[in-house]
Amino acid sequence: MTARTLPYVRPASLAGRHFSTVIVGAGINGAGVFRDLSLQGVDCLIVDKGDFAAGASSAPSRMIHGGLRYLESGAFSLVAEATRERNLLLRNAAHLVRPLETVVPLSSRFGGLLGSMLRFAGFTASPGARGLFVVALGLRLYDRLGRRQRVMPGHRIARARAADGALFSDSVRWTATYFDAWISHPEWLILELLADAHAGQSASVAANYCSVTACRGRALTLRDEITGDSVEVTADAVVNATGAWLDRSASALQGAGSRVMGTKGSHLVLEHPALHAALGGRMAYFEASDGRVCIVYPFMDRVLVGSTDIPVDDPDQAATEPAEIDYLLDVLGEVFPRLRFARADVVYTYVGVRPLAHSDADKPGQISRDHSVVIDPPNAVRDVPLVCLVGGKWTTFRSLAELAANQTLALLGKPRLRSTESLAIGGGADMPADAAALDRLIDGIRSRSGLPRARIAGLVGRYGSRAGALAQAFATAGDAPLQHAPDYSQAEIRNLCQETGVRRLNDLVIRRTLLAIRGRVDAALLSELADLAAAALGWTATRRREEWRACAATLRDRHFVDLPADEAAKAPGMDAASSTDSISSPITT
């Protein structure tokens, strides 16, 4: 990202401005609408009460998939849409979205057939392990629904190999193999959507830590959640893209409520070399003994496990409970009986709240994952239409954004100028299509920047085709590696702080990098990152200490990371006092 394409502003700079559309909620769906409308020439403001992508959009299973299990409930149109969007993302965001071979262990031939038939017919049926016939039929249909723009091979069924027998229990007789996809850094893709929007329409801007507290007439009152200051902007239309917070946001926006319900999905990240090696780059997709579908797959050098599906009333209070950790570890023990799992293997946990349309279904898994767009017309208090996004899957964000953008354009009386269907996202533009071309890209960047090949490969994996410009900038700055995470550099961290809207240390540690989710953040690394952020953003020593403590508390209390409450208790060899007191720049919020 460069200064020409930075969309990030502080709320104070928005006072008195008018926007054609204000979008509330900067998760994946809000960012998708922001980009789509901006590319049609519409000047937009997107705001979020927290950081960009800080809600459910930063806490998915990181799968980009069609939803194989939704076929049982007859959701053919949803699965067809999701598989199509999966295929588009594999092309449009190839730097972040990659194919994922998936294996389903099968122990019986006809297991679950009656239950599947009853669920397909709309009846409630007790869970039961699905067998060869049901899974083979489902995968045949899955392949057919995803045939448009197919970029991956179809499924196959085979007798369990010796290697599979060593991984799964002795009862596994067959395995079904098919392909979906996974995304390495969903938060970064959201930032790229914001940057692409601003590049297409320079009047479109984004503000994080900016909540909407009132909507009267055509005016919206915005509150800076860090400084406490409030400003007003006006708009011709408002989009509510707050996901599981939709009904809560409706109160400030003078809209209707009771449209969504939330279920939380908790995930674990394990440091478990034996399981990582046994998976062999594949995801295992399986049923627990209670019928809950779970996944486990290699996530870089870790293993990602998910997920639970538990109703919640307050998405702000959702957290991974100890019982959920134990449940997922027990499930792993059922499926991989030759391996041992303990809490000590868990290096990170996270939880997201799925924004589901209100339903009377008996079980969360039976609630539709489909989406819709509902318009609340102007009323006695609010003079602008309110476009509400209800439900939705991470994978289908583009198609939901297109639907919402089309309705917003109609309200504004503006035409659609272009489609986003084949439009690359951020560093996905001009990404090499094969390994040989990727090698040429890396070699070209190395010759221009002089950085080591391994370092460039890491940058390409994070930033795609934009790695070349960044590598040269980092090389000019010296590209000194971090002491406690040498695959990142000081120049890279400064760039992230200054050019991606970072306002809190949490933003940098948890969402701008992959250090936290990979279980690599200890007290010493957190101090090193706090020093760099403070210098880049002009924090005082007091502000820096407060940010360290707040970030440590978040990692400790919400993500199961072992960190002390006070920086003075961190690892030996790091002098907390000297690292903070040397910073004396005026506070910048």
Mind spelling out the 3-state secondary structure of 240-305? Answer: ECCHHHHHHHHHHCCCCCCCEEEEEEEEEEECCHHHHHHHCCCEEEEECCCCCEEEEEEECCEEEE
Give per-residue pLDDT as tens, 107-147: 887 555 545 554 554 555 555 567 788 888 889 988 888 77
Query: At 215, which amino acid appears?
Result: C
Alpha carbon distance 286, 271 (integer Å): 21
Q: What angle do CA 277, 279, 284 make, to 5 degrees?
A: 160
For residue 374 the two structure tokens come to 């509902």
Q: In Å, how far are 112, 240, 392, 528 from 122, measured between CA atoms? A: 15, 32, 21, 55
Q: What is the 3-state secondary structure (H, E, C) of 19-74?
A: EEEEEECCCHHHHHHHHHHHHCCCCEEEECCCCCCCCHHHCCCCEECCCHHHHHHC
Q: In Å, how far are 82, 86, 122 from 66, measured between CA atoms? A: 4, 7, 21
| Predicted confidence band of residue 5 (pLDDT cuts 50, 70, 90) | low
Comparing CA positions, the residue from 78, 134, 517 lying closest to residue 293 is 134
Whether the pLDDT of residue 85 is over 90: the answer is yes
Whether the pLDDT of residue 588 is over 50: the answer is no
Whether the pLDDT of residue 433 is over 90: the answer is no
- Arithmetic mean of pLDDT, 416-444: 96
For residue 568 the two structure tokens come to 């003075």
Query: Quick one: CA torsion of 247, 253, 255, 260, rounded to 10 degrees?
Result: -20
Give per-residue pLDDT as tens, 363-391: 555 565 678 999 999 999 999 999 999 98
Query: At 332, which amino acid appears?
Result: L
Q: In Å, how far are 250, 408, 453, 492, 577 from 469, measured between CA atoms? A: 42, 36, 15, 12, 36
DSSP state of 343: G
Residue labelled with tokens 């996809």? 181
> Of 81-95, 170-184, 537-551, which gets the smallest average pLDDT?
170-184
Comparing CA positions, the residue from 358, 359, 356, 391 lying closest to residue 373 is 391
DSSP state of 323: H
- Arithmetic mean of pLDDT, 527-532: 98
**Alpha helices in 309-412, H assignment, sequence order:** 322-335, 397-412
Q: In Å, how far are 162, 165, 290, 429 from 170, measured between CA atoms? A: 10, 6, 20, 46
How many CA atoms lie within 13 Å of 413's alpha carbon, on the beta-carbon side?
A: 1
